[in-house]
Every structure is written in structure tokens, then in C-alpha cells.
Chains A and B, each alone.
Chain A
């Protein structure tokens, strides 16, 4: 166990790997948005206001296909429903006396990776602190929005001449998720991970990726309740 400071600066340091992962992914989003006919301002606005990677990529496809706004909104909202579980899971790991007065601000930045990194830090003995949460959140958010802006400026055809770079960037998000999973891996989590994985594959193949994601998360969390 270690007791490290939980200030804003250490939050920014913890955000560094996330920012390094976010920037190229957001860059790819900016490029894809321009390719799909979105203006630079629209693409940056999506990153500023939605701030959820996978659903932003899906939003491009939905808007470009002319889907009604309410149908698109419903799909994207359902996709992000998983975030409901992050706050309570984090506060549970932080302990009953953890401060949350300024959660109205840092909670906005509670993305998959920020949640995973914060949880990993707590699991490794760091004490919870709100300035720390602002540090991780702002670092990641800045990388996401600036990556999008640079991607839109590069334009839709930016990566066409470099298919290997495009392929490598495309693997950035899975690699980041896998590394986060390894960082929180414990013996007790193995059955949870196995059930979540199987349920995700089953739900995706049988119904849709969104059902697979929701089903995997709920089935995995339920497996944690059942296990002794």
C-alpha cells in the first residue's frame, strides 16, 4: 500500500497515458467527422458536449444516414447508460468519508478510461481527492477536444496515404482498454471478467453491439454479487 498525494498535479500526471491515448483517437474522430460532411465547428462541438468516444463515432454514422434526431439520441443515450455505474463504484472504492462536494464538476469527466484509471490508482493505495479527480478529468478532456480540433484541420483524406498509421490508430482504443483491464486485474475479478466477456460476445452476435455492451456489464457485475 502507498499513500500518495491526491492533488491536481498528480491527477494530471495520471491523465497522461489517457491523454496520449485520447489524442490520436480524437484525431481519428475529427478526420472521420470531416469525411462524413461535418463542419470543423460541429465536430469540435460534439467532442465538447457529448464527450464519449464510441457514441460520437456512432453519431456520425446516424446523422450521415439521415436518422431522425430522437431515434439517434435514444440509441446514443442507451449506449452511455453504463456510466450510471461508475460514480457509485468509484465512491465505494474511495470510502465513506471521501469528499464529493465538487463532484458536479469532476463527474462530467468520468469517462471509461478516467474511471478505470482512478479506480486503478485507488486499488494501488492512493487516497481519493477531488483535486486529483479534476486533474485526471481536465487532462483527458483537453486531449480529447484538442485531438478532435487537429483532426478536423487535417481533414477527411489525412490518413489515406498512410494506411498503417490509420490501422495503428484504430487499435489505440482496444489497446487502452486492455491495458486498463490489466491494471485492475485481481484474482477475485477473474470470474467477473470471464462472465462479462462471454455475455458481450453473446449479446453482440445475437442482438447488437449496444445490447452486448450493456449485457456484458450487467452480467459481469451480477457475477460479482453471486460469487462468494
Chain B
């Protein structure tokens, strides 16, 4: 195993742990239930997930669009139908792959 890969993994892994655990340990955002900090934190979840949707779809927009449209449509349709994250995810992936194969 290369030393540089281990060092890189350790630095990034330790930082990840500090980011994930540190704020809980320090009690950030607690105490005052109301106020700006509370609203900021309540909006963080939707903001983060919306960002990740856009950031992960954006690189795919330049390539073949038909599979992308089919994949997104399948996720939306199966979500509306079954309200299940797993089924919607798998349906989206299947639709993307299937349309990619046919296109």
C-alpha cells in the first residue's frame, strides 16, 4: 500500500469525522430553539439534498439526454406511486440503463 494514499485517506477521514461528530459534541445550534440559527439549521437538510441532486445531475446534462429524462421521470413516478426511496431509486437507475441501451 502506497504511503501517500494512506496519508491522504487519514487526513480526509479524520476531517470527515471531525465534521460529522464535532458539531454534535460541541452542541452547535442547540439551546435557543427559535431564532435565525434554528431556521438556518432547519433549512440545511433540504438545501444540502437539493444541492446534491443538482450537482450529480449537472455533469450528465451534456451527454445523452433521453436516458436522463427517463431516469428522472421514473424516480418521480415511482415515488408518487409507492412513496418508497428504494423503489424510486432502483426504478430510476433501471429506466436510465434501459433507455441508454435502446437509444
- Residues from chain B with a CB closer than 8 A to the CB of A80 are 12, 15-16, 19
B46 with A183: CB separation less than 8 A: no
Q: Which residues of A contact B47 (CB under 8 A)?
A: 192-193, 195-196, 216-221, 223-224
For the complex, give the distance between the alpha carbons of A227 and B100 in Å.
Answer: 41
B52 and A189 contact, CB distance less than 8 A = no
**Residue in contact with A212 in the complex, picked from B53, B55, B92, CB distance below 8 Å:** B55
A206 at the B interface (CB under 8 A) = no
Q: Which residues of A contact B48 (CB under 8 A)?
A: 82, 85-86, 112, 115-116, 196, 217, 220-221
What is the distance, in angstroms, from B94's C-beta to the closest C-beta of chain A? 6
Q: Which of A91-117 contact B (CB under 8 A)?
A: 91-93, 96, 100, 103-104, 107-110, 112, 115-117
Is there an interface contact between B86 and A20, defined as CB atoms closer than 8 Å? yes
Scoring B45, B72, B96 by chain A CB atoms within 10 A of each residue's CB, the highest score goes to: B45
Return the CB mask of B9-23 against A: 1 if under 8 Å, else 0: 111110111011111
A38 to B22, CA, bound (A): 31
Number of chain B residues close to chain A: CB under 8 A: 74
Supposing A20-B86, A77-B12 touch, asked if A225 and B39 sit within 8 A by C-beta, the answer is yes
Nearest neighbor of B6 in chain A, beta-carbon distance: A45
**How far in angstroms is the closest Cβ of chain B from A67?**
10
Q: How far is the CA of A220 from the CA of B37 in the complex (A)?
A: 14
Per the 8 Å Cβ criterion, residues 82-103 of B in contact with A are 83-86, 88-94, 96-98, 100-101
Does A183 lie within 8 Å of B85, measured CB to CB? yes
CB-contacts of A49-70 with B (<8 A): 49-52, 54-55, 59, 63, 69
- Which chain B positions have C-beta within 8 A of A179? 75, 79, 85-86, 88-89, 92
B12, B41, B91, most chain A CB atoms within 10 A: B12
The 6 A-B residue pairs with the shortest CB-CB distance in the complex, in nearest-first order = A224-B43, A168-B97, A220-B47, A17-B86, A175-B92, A216-B51
What would be 27 A-B contacts, judged by CB atoms less than 8 Å apart? A17-B89, A45-B9, A46-B5, A49-B9, A52-B12, A69-B11, A73-B7, A85-B44, A89-B29, A104-B21, A108-B17, A109-B20, A165-B97, A168-B96, A171-B67, A171-B71, A171-B92, A174-B53, A178-B92, A179-B89, A184-B45, A189-B43, A212-B51, A216-B51, A216-B55, A217-B51, A221-B40
Q: Give the B-binding residues of A (Cβ under 8 A).
A: 16-17, 20-21, 24, 38-39, 41-42, 45-46, 49-52, 54-55, 59, 63, 69, 72-73, 76-77, 80-93, 96, 100, 103-104, 107-110, 112, 115-117, 119-120, 163-165, 167-186, 189, 192-193, 195-197, 199-201, 204, 209, 212-213, 216-225, 227
